[in-house]
Amino acid sequence: MERTTLDGTWTVEAVRGPAAADVASTPIEAVVPGVVHTDLLRAGLIPDPFDGDNEAATQWIGDTVWRWRRTFEWHAPAAERHDLVADGLDTLATIELNGIVVATTANQHRSYRFPVAHLLREGTNDLVVTFDAPVPAAERLSELHGGELPHVNHHPYNALRKNASNFGWDWGIDVATSGIWKSIGIESWSGARIASVRPLVDLDGTDGVLTAHVDVELAGSGGRFTQAIGSAPVTAAGGADTAGLEARVTLAPHRAAAGTAGSGTEPPVGTGGDTVVGSRRVEDGSATVRLVVPEVAVWWPRGEGDQPLYDVRVEVGDDVWSGRVGFRTVTLDTAADAGGAPFLLRVNDRPVMVRGANWIPDHAFLTEMTRERYHRRIDDAVDANMNLLRVWGGGIYESDDLYDRCDELGVLVWQDFLFACAAYAEEPWLRDEVEPEVREAVTRLSPHPSLVVWNGNNENLVAYAEWGWRASLVGRTWGNGYYRDLFPAVVAELDPTRPYTPGSPFSFDEYLTPNDERNGSVHIWDVWNRLDYRAYADWQPRFVAEFGFQGPPAWSTLTAVVHDEPLDPDGHEMLVHQKADQGNRKLADGMRGHLPEPASIEDWHFAAQLNQAHAIRFGMEWFRSRTPDNTGTVVWQLNDDWPVVSWALVDHAGIRKPVWYAVRQAYQPVLVTVQPGGSESSVLDVVVVNASGAAAEGQVDVARVSFDGTVLASGSFPVTVGTADATRVALPATLAAPEDPASEVLVVTGPLGRTVHDFAEVVDQALEPTPFTTAVEPTADGARVTVTATSYARDVSLFPDRVDAVARVDDGLVSLLPGESVTFTVTDAPGIDTGALTTREVLRHAGSLLR
């Protein structure tokens, strides 16, 4: 296989659109892979869409037809076939080679391959790709096929197979892109080509079993066609046959290159450490090769064991495919029990208590994502004690960079099919794109051991049942056939090693609402939208697949794009960067009763961030305290795709918000939490939750302490907690009932950490305005700031980005008793103004909001 890349420099021009498109009516330089917005921005023809109100000023881009063009020199290699291969086109594309239409495409989520030998010519060739305007195209297709089907937000994104959030979301900017967003090139080959490989794994006792399904295309098959990866193999035609053709599979322990890290655990010698080889004849365009690895090194989720990986090499003729696998099994238990029905993942027959987050596209312009950026975001999840990411259905099937990193670190992946918050037509005009897309996604992602769940959609089933859709869908298809028939059939055919769920939320019973808290998975959105966050405690969910609470991004991230004078929560540009319906009103309502009314924009910013942290920690600890009845939580959301007020834990600039530190605390594998009493005689209980891979035991010490450090009462008790379990101990009244809630806390020290329980909300506490002293020491990379408490200091946090936007800090939301200290380490900011690090707006604590 010889590939002639066509990546690199192209030109792009506006063909047809609003008057504003005239600025690009003559060709400008374009970069492939890329999208038109980044090309226009690079050429200086548009302002930064993320800045100020430029989202509105650049809306015309999504209403414009765009044309990419490049010339290339062609001197045909000796080969039977020359195929134009496009890994990703966004979205409605017409491809022309030397003035002849090669094909039209209509799906961002799949790849395309077209034989073009008959169109190529020696010397200079001209390749043109023209993209229809996505916004009017979605509207046109909706009307053409019976009118708009229900959807959220303002564009009918459900009429296109395109990243739904690209049209805007309640956290996302509306920048409907066009472009050649993945690699494109010409592949020249003879004989046979490996069309796809599905290396499926299993365990048989201590042996690993690899079953490699190999689909092969023959050069002699001829004809003009497109083939989706994972579709039925293209068999021989025109006299071509597979006589003597074999698929050879080699399996060997993965060995990281010298000097590299994070490439998975290498299997030890003598433990599945030998190379295994097998082969089978190719018949009717496919072959299945089964290999057995004695004493295989087993892949585990993080916290449960190591992540050994094995390299797989497949050879057919002169073509080679390579990938990695990890040996493990996965099941999902949803069988009815006395309490309803669980949602319990088991990996290698061991229950996994999920501590996860929802993942959205990490950049509104997908081509700006790099391997390094993926690694940073996944490291954010790992450092917050997470063991699962849910790739949400309103985005994309992500880059292998994400799944590879999760394989290496033991982060489980729940993968939605890309159907979110909308009804989707099932007629051929859309279904003919959906099936090859899904087949390709399942095939491409099947090697990854981190992938443990396929999920049919996000909220479409509950929307049908509870959002008032049913009346408008009488006599129309809406996607149910995808979720109940097509998708489970494709998964059963191509990847029977993983469980499939029809949707999220889902109750696994036809006679229950999809969002029943006692059955399967739930999404909890009454909190945030309507209710105070303490209403989380009214829920008794078996598994929470979505819940969240908003907060603004870091100060430097926000003020880099919001320029209102004066800065105000309800300022024009501030509201451009707040996409949730009545979002800032909900932020204000959510603070009420918890925090004092902010006295300034600086206080509003800190209070909103602090309240987000308190809300999520409260919810997480409540849900986890119900272990093992509750088997997991997946917080909404880990990340942002632009600078915005949102539910994210980490903002678009990569700054960890206070809520990230709250999640890190609440997601400790062994969690000690104080909860309302579980019996009539108990006011407060200490609950020790164990989601680690081993039993936890030790002594728990409890003290009721005044803000000046005086111990008013104390006690201790031993605990032993099995894996995937929790132990609850009722506290005596001397500890559970404060004499003065405004000036006392409960300090609980358990086997692996400490928690401080506040008897009162910040607004009702007698917190000192300056409860600590500070010392600052400059370092080569920034500074160390040591804070020593003189009185109870609640949620001490340092915000060095207010001094230098690139500065980062290692800790946050630290509560200190008198005499205790914490040292914050500031990095990535050599020469930072150390004096500014202890000013009121930079070094904050909950008491600083009380004036």
Question: What does the pLDDT average to over 5-30?
Answer: 95
- Distance, in Å, from the CA atom of 779 to the CA atom of 266, rounded to the nearest integer, reads 36
Classify residue 217 as exposed, middle or buried by CB count within 10 Å of its CB (0-12, 13-18, 19+).
buried
- Decide which of 170 and 230 is more confident: 170
User: Residue 237: what pLDDT?
Assistant: 34
The per-residue pLDDT for 20 is 87
Mean predicted lDDT score pLDDT of the chain: 94
Looking at residue 756, what DSSP letter applies? E
Residue 267: the pLDDT is 56
Q: Model confidence over 444-484: pLDDT tens digits?
A: 999 999 999 999 999 999 999 999 999 999 999 999 999 99
Band of residue 724 on the pLDDT scale cut at 50, 70, 90: very high
Q: Does the pLDDT value for residue 80 go beyond 90?
A: yes
**245/191 Cα distance (integer angstroms):** 10
Rounded to whole angstroms, what are the CA distances from 733 to 43, 231, 681, 716? 70, 66, 10, 14
| Residue 166: both structure tokens together | 């690209």
Range 277-290 average pLDDT:
96
Q: Kindly state the average pLDDT of the residues 235-251.
A: 68
3-state helix, strand, coil in the chain (%, to 5): 25, 35, 45
Residue 851 pLDDT grade (very low, low, confident, very high; cuts 50, 70, 90): confident
Residue 625 one-letter amino acid: S
**Token code pair at residue 667:** 């997601």
In this prediction, residue 682 has a pLDDT band, given cuts at 50, 70 and 90, of: confident
The pLDDT value recorded for residue 657 is 98
Residue 260: pLDDT band (50, 70, 90) is: very low
What is the rounded CA–CA span in Å between residue 106 and residue 180?
Answer: 13
Q: What is the DSSP string of 397-437?
A: PPPHHHHHHHHHHT-EEEEE-S-BSB----SHHHHHHHHHH
Per-residue pLDDT tens for 809-833? 999 999 999 999 999 999 999 999 9
Residue 687 contacts residue 719 (beta carbons within 8 Å): no
Closest residue by Cα to residue 267 from 290, 251, 279: 251
Mean pLDDT of 794-809: 98
Q: How far is CA 254 from CA 326, 371, 421, in A?
A: 10, 20, 40
Read off the pLDDT band of 228 (50, 70, 90).
very low
> According to the 3-state scheme, what is the secondary structure of 674-700?
EEECCCCCCCEEEEEEECCCCCEEEEE
Q: How far apart are CA 184 and CA 33, in angstroms?
A: 8
Task: Report pLDDT digits (tens) over 106-147.
Answer: 999 999 999 999 999 999 999 999 999 999 999 999 999 999
**Rounded to two decimals, what is the model's pTM?**
0.95
- Say yes or no to pLDDT of 257 above 80: no
Q: What is the DSSP-derived secondary structure letter of residue 710?
A: -
Q: What is the mean pLDDT of residues 525-542?
A: 97
* Cα 726 to Cα 693, 703, 721, distances in angstroms: 13, 21, 6
